[in-house]
Every structure is written in C-alpha cells, then in structure tokens.
Structure 1
Amino acid sequence: MGFIQAFKGAVGGMLADQWKDFLTVPNGLPQTAALFPAVPQGTNAGRGSNTRGSENVITNGSKILVPQGYGLISVVDGRATGLITEAGGYEFNDSSPDSRSVFAGDDLLASTIGTSWERFKYGGRPTSQQLAFYVSLKEIPDNRFGTQSEIYWDDAYLNAQVGAVTRGSYTLRIIDPLLFVHNFVPASFISANAPVFDFSDPDNAAGNQMFQEVVGSLAQAFSRYTNDPDKGNRISRIQGDSVGFAQSLSAAVEENYRWSSDRGLAIVKTAIVSIEYDQRTRELLADVQKADALSGARSQSFLNQATARGVQAAGETGGGAGLAMFGAGAGAAGGLVNPVQPWAPPGQQGAPQQQGAPAQGEQAQAAPAREDPVAKLAQYKQMLDQGLISEEDYEAAKKAALGL
C-alpha cells in the first residue's frame, strides 16, 4: 500500500509524453529550505510552471516526481504514511499489493531510518487523500552562528583558559527525515497550505532554537578540538579544518541536545569567519609563540646571533680591551675567536717562561675558566623576553656579568 515506482533516476523527455500532470519540487526555493509542500506541474499550467502551491494533495492515481537530492514524505493528520528517498517517478495507489511505503537505502541517511519508520508509521491502511511534502537530503548551507561576548574554554596548547568572540557558519544535513518531521518540525509546516520550513527564516522559531543551541555548544566544541591530540592541540588550525571542527561541534551539540538521535540532524562542515581573542589571551599567545620560537634547535641559532652581536658591540664600544674581554670569555665557552698568544722568537715553542712560573713538566693547577659574559647576557635577555625575569632583574644580572 503506498507508492508504485514507475522509473528510477532522471526523468528526461519521457515525462512530457507519458505524464501530463504530476507533483514535483517548487521553483525558486532558498538554499536553506529543508521541508516544503509538493506543487503540481503539467498541461494545466504549461510544462515546468507551478500552479497553486497549496495543492499538495495526493489521491489514488496521483503521479509524483522525486528529484535527486530530495525525499518525499506523505502525511495524514501530522503522521507519516510514506517515505521515498530514491530519485524517480512514482504513482500513488492505496490498495495495490505491489506498492511500497518506504524506499530507503541512501548511504547518506542514518541507519536508524528503518527503526524510526516502524515507530512513526501510520497504523492500518493509508487513507485515500494525503499531503505530499519534500525534504532536502542535500547539505543545507549558510546556517550562521556568532557570539556577542567572549566564550571561554580550557586550552591544552596554551595550558590556560582562553576567551574569544567568534562567528561563522555551518552546513547541515537531514540524516533521518522521519525523526526530523515528527520530533522537530512544528505542526504548522506539515499541514494544508503549509509554508516553507527555512532554517534561515528569522520568523522560524525552530531555526532560531538551533542557532541558540549551536552558540551554547561552541565553548565545548573549541575545548574538544584544542584538547584532542589528533588535532595537534593548536588554535590556529581550527579555521582551516572545516571537517575536523565540524566533528567537534557536532559531538558537542549531540551531547547537549541530541540532534542526531532525536531530530535526525547532523553538522557536516564549518567555516569560521573570525576568532577575536581577548587581551589576556593575545598576550599569552604572544608569550607562547616566543617560547616556541626559542625552543629546540632554533634556540642555538638565536644564541649564536646574540653572540655575534656581542662581538660587534665589544669591538665598537670597548676597543681592544672589549675584544680581549670577549675573547677570554669566548675561549672559556669553547670560543668563537682564538685567544691571543704572547709573541715568541721564531723556532721557540710557546711563550717564554716568566719568573716564578712553574717549570716545564710540573703540574700547575689550572685557573677556573671564566664564564662567557656575552652568552650569559644572551640567556638573561631570552629570559626577559619570555617574561621569566623583570627588567630590573635583567639590569642587575647584566651589571654582574660585566663586572660593573
């Protein structure tokens, strides 16, 4: 009892010859339309032209076209009596033993669709007159979200609480049309002369409710993403990972509001337009970025640069004494310059022995190596840049290193 499949897939030109009048999807729908009445097309108004949109009543012998990307739901008194998700042409017959009520099997639909049909199906034989509605099975775009004030979440990368104002959009898919119609769509959208159920319509209370629920789940979604080791724990990756963040947002929405299990809805992709961090978070990000830049092999590069600048400064400001002091320190540290050797006559190895100096072959106690002041200053400067010491601490350490 229900619909008999006349053909599958695209209609082509055969419709003009075999079907003079039929029901199909109305023209001019917004991309965010999710559920809407079927409208008649055919010879009465010219092929491809819509006639009275409220005439979505189907009876015995009614022919109906289901385009690719849409599903058809027949409704009586607010209850589903038939569901078609396979593209093709169908004829309604309430008594034919060859007819079927459910044409499912689309991979994009939830596996619960059969269960939800058993739960909601019309008891007994369907009546001779029913209402026909189309439901979108495509990704429904441009569902927007945004926060007016900061939301806060614990961030593993920064190891602190983060605050930000954010805005963006997501694409949505109806994965179980029966759950969606029965559990979420208001009755006014599945009755005679029903309007289009449009998620972006500001007068649609159901769409506004979803907006609030997404905003209420954003903090949890950000926390899920930045605390997931598989995502790299990086805030900067969210804006470029439309699918990954969508999974975090969908999981947060499901946990809080059960979109998938109770409403047959799922978030597919996201597009974050902007994330504006609060002042404290921006400062923390800057400090962490500096610490990252000075970690590992890059730390040695920074130290070498600082030492080179020290050589130049010692030569420019301290003359020979400055370079001598630097040379002594550099020699103690493994040395960037060779220590200055006293002059000796040709053929004589080493410097002449001074009076009172230990004789050759005697073990002399070596003087402790002096720390390199330039390297120490570079370390102090690195600690200052990372916020580990204050400006006063740095000045005091600099005077001590230079012996001032």
Structure 2
Amino acid sequence: MGIIDAAFDSIGGVLSDQWKDIVTAAPFDEHTIVAPGIRKDSQNGRGANYGAEDILSNGSIIFVPENTAAFVFSQSGIEQVITQPGGFEYRNGEATVFDEQDRREKGIGKILLGQAADRIGFSGMSSEEKRVAFVNLREIRGLKFGTRGPLAYNDLFYGTDLEVYSYGSFAVQVMNPEAFVQNFVPANVTSYSLDDPQARTQLLSEFLQSFISAVNSLSAEYRISQLPSQANSIASRISTEEGNAGTWPERFGLRLTSVAIENIEFSEESRELIRQFSEKKMGVRAYEDASQQAANIAAQQMIAEGVRNNGLGDGGGMLFGMNLASVLNPQNATFAGASTAPTEPQTENAKTSSLDNQIETLKKLKELLDAGILSQDEFDAKKREILGL
C-alpha cells in the first residue's frame, strides 16, 4: 500500500512542479543583509503555482534587483552566483514540459515518467533541492555601538589619563558576497539581519576592540574634545588594523565604510579632575596678572625715586619722575617704543614714530621748566640726552 501511495504522490508532485517559477527577493529593510527568494504564485487573480518551494524548473526566471547578488543553493552548497541586475533564466533545474528545449531533447513522456519513477524511490519526494537567496550589497548604516566600560584616553592638553565613554554608530558593506555567505552567514540560512543580536555580536565585539585601539593611537595628536571630528581617521585606522575589524575583508568579505561618533562622556572621576584643573588654571592666571601689575607699579616708583635722588628736589623730583616713568618701559627703564638692541636701519614710519616720542618728552620737560620745577641747565642737559647731542 505504501508503494502505491508513493506512486500517486510522485505523479502528483511531478505534475505540480512542472510550472516554471518567477523568483524575486523578499523585501529588504535597513539592516537586512540576506533575504530569501520568494516565488510568485499568482497575479491579479490568475496563476496557481503551488508546487514545492525548493524545486526550480528549467526556464524559471530569477529577478535580481540593483545592488544585490542572487545565490542559488543546492544540497551541496552554492551552485551559482548572479551579480548582474535584471531577469536571469535558470537552466540547471528539473526538466519541464513547458520548456521548449527540454521537450525537444527529452520528449514529454520521458520527462513525466522519468521524474515520477525517480521520486517513487524517495517516497514521492524529489531528489533535487534548489533555493534562492539575495545578499544586500548596499551600505548597511546605523549599527549602534557603545563602550561597555570606561576607555582610558591620555589627553595631551590635560597631560593625564582620562576615563571616557563613547557612543555612536558604524556602517558596513559586503564587498565579496561569496566569501560573506561562506564564512559569515550560518549554514542553510536564507534570511539574515544585523538587527538580530546573535548576528551582530561578533561584529560589534571586534569593532569595539579596533575602535579602542584606533582612538588611543590618536591621543598623542588630538585633545579628547576633537575626537568626533576625527571619525574618518578612526575608520581608516580600524580598516588597516592587523586584527579584529581590520581582517573583515579577507575573513568575511565585509568592510567597514564609516564611523560616526555621536557623543563622548567623561566618567565622574575624570569630570572632577577637569574641574579642579580648570579652577587651578584660572587661579594661576589671576595671580600672574596681579603680580605683573604690581611689578609695573613698583618699577615706576623706583624710576621716580631714582630721578628724585639725582638733584631735582622732593616735590619736583617726584613729579618729574612719575611723568617720566609714564613714558618709560618699567622692564628696562627705556623710553616706551624705543629698542635697546641694535636693529636694522629704521623705515620712514619708524623714524617718524621715534621723533614723535622725543618731541612729546621734550614738551613734558618744557612744562616742568616753565613751572619752575626744572632749571634751565637741567632742561638743557635732558634735552641733549634725549636728542643724543
């Protein structure tokens, strides 16, 4: 009884599988990397192709979308890879009475009876098994990452190791679909998405290892606040690394295309170190400004004291000293704007500026002379000194 049932199953299966198939890709979402081929079985109420899902007849059409690669799988693995977009006629399936070439070579009777006889030995099943899957060759973006623990970064500005957390996303692209299917996608899988945590775990772990290494290699050149602007450099360093994500092209036929750093956060300890550093730096700057101002005042007072002690009298000496100090450089007691080091010949503008300073100083001395604070001899002596006579 079992053999008779197998015979009827074989005949029914052969007849239902004679139809040619039209195979298209299932819809891709943003992170789908492998989508199954789906068979079109009806159109506007017409069509009744309800044969086996894993049987492809000769003359069937496989439609390959742009930026995808179609894979035909048999029991032994990859049978054929189609990378050109468009409609592809499949010729390595089961013979069908609806294919002109098969009818001419085998005849209708041999096709039907031969297939039915073969199936009886397998309890009505076909020994052929063909499936179609499509690999996404587009860039797959928005794969989120985040450092699970603090990342030590030796910031050149602060001169110390800071602990930071980094968040962002990266993008990948299949560059060798055959290597990707053979080495990354699990066996006998025709649907695969990087939204699946199990699918993404290996990529994410290796990416983070490479990311940490790439970031630390930049610490000698960039402050930590500059890292987001160095995303392209980080991606390049990851891609050229000898381990982890740098090996993806050879191992998986997959390459890292971009890295986007969305945020960098300091740990609480590092944030406190930066706060203390900023407070101390502001305190030191305020102290330096106050010290410089006090030093200038002290220098001016010393200049005035020196003029007073050189015979100009208490009141007049102090008045003359303070006026003279206002036009002197408190660092070296030279006239402001004048240079104490030998210089190259002055330009016309420089000469005019020097002459203006001399005239201004002589005017101040003349005011002291008219006020009776300086004697004519003292005025003449200072005049000769200023004019270099």
TM-score by length of 1: 0.54
- Determine the structure 2 residue equivalent to 1:99: none
Q: Which structure 2 residues correspond to residues 83-122 of structure 1 after superposition, within 5 A? A: 83-94=81-92
Partner SS for 1:244: helix
Are the equivalent residues in 1 in contact too, given 2:70–2:81 (CA < 8 A)?
Answer: yes
Task: Output the CA distance in 2 between the equivalents of 1:139 and 1:218.
Answer: 19
Are the equivalent residues in 1 in contact too, given 2:35–2:134 (CA < 8 A)?
Answer: yes
Alignment pair present for 1:200 and 2:195: yes
Question: Rg larger in 1 or in 2?
Answer: 2
Give the letter for the 1:278 counterpart.
S
Deviation at 1:146, TM superposition (A): 0.4
- Determine the structure 1 residue equivalent to 2:22: 22
**RMSD, aligned α-carbons:** 4.7
Partner SS for 2:59: coil
Within the candidate set 44, 55, 58, 1:60 is matched to: 58
- Determine the structure 1 residue equivalent to 2:205: 212
- The 1:347/1:187 distance shift into structure 2, 3 A limit, reads same
- Determine the structure 1 residue equivalent to 2:39: 40
- The 1:41/1:152 distance shift into structure 2, 3 A limit, reads same
Q: Which structure 2 residues correspond to residues 2-401 of structure 1 after superposition, within 5 A? A: 22-27=22-27, 29-41=28-40, 44-46=42-44, 55=53, 57-77=55-75, 79-94=77-92, 129-154=129-154, 160-190=160-190, 196-202=191-197, 205-227=198-220, 233-252=222-241, 255-256=243-244, 258-278=247-267, 310=293, 324=322, 327=326, 330=330, 332=332, 343-344=368-369, 348=376, 350-351=378-379
Partner SS for 2:368: coil
Deviation at 1:133, TM superposition (A): 0.7
User: Is there any run of 5+ residues in structure 2 with no aligned partner, and where?
Assistant: 1-19, 94-126, 280-284, 305-317, 338-356
Deviation at 1:224, TM superposition (A): 3.2
Task: Output the CA distance in 2 between the equivalents of 1:84 and 1:267.
Answer: 24
Give the letter for the 1:65 counterpart.
F
Partner SS for 2:209: helix
- The 1:94/1:158 distance shift into structure 2, 3 A limit, reads farther
Give the letter for the 2:88 counterpart.
Y
Task: Output the CA distance in 2 between the equivalents of 1:286 and 1:334.
Answer: 43
Are the equivalent residues in 2 in contact too, given 1:153–1:220 (CA < 8 A)?
Answer: no
1:226-270 CA distances to partner (integer Å, 9 max, x unpaired)? Answer: 45xxxx645444323443322223334x52352111111111011
Are the equivalent residues in 1 in contact too, given 2:153–2:219 (CA < 8 A)?
Answer: no
Deviation at 1:153, TM superposition (A): 4.3
Q: Aligned residues: percent identity? A: 23
Give the letter for the 1:216 counterpart.
Q
Task: Output the CA distance in 1 between the equivalents of 2:278 and 2:173.
Answer: 38
Deviation at 1:280, TM superposition (A): 6.2
Looking at secondary structure, tell me which structure has more helix per residue: 2
Give the letter for the 1:36 counterpart.
A
Task: Output the CA distance in 2 between the equivalents of 1:250 and 1:63.
Answer: 39
TM-score by length of 2: 0.56
User: Is there any run of 5+ residues in structure 1 with no aligned partner, and where?
Assistant: 1-19, 96-126, 191-195, 291-301, 355-359, 362-404
Deviation at 1:221, TM superposition (A): 1.7
- The 1:331/1:167 distance shift into structure 2, 3 A limit, reads closer
- The 1:92/1:217 distance shift into structure 2, 3 A limit, reads same
- Determine the structure 1 residue equivalent to 2:343: none
Give the letter for the 2:293 counterpart.
G
Partner SS for 2:235: helix
Task: Output the CA distance in 2 between the equivalents of 1:183 and 1:251.
Answer: 20
How many residue pairs get matched?
Answer: 273
Are the equivalent residues in 2 in contact too, given 1:25–1:39 (CA < 8 A)?
Answer: yes
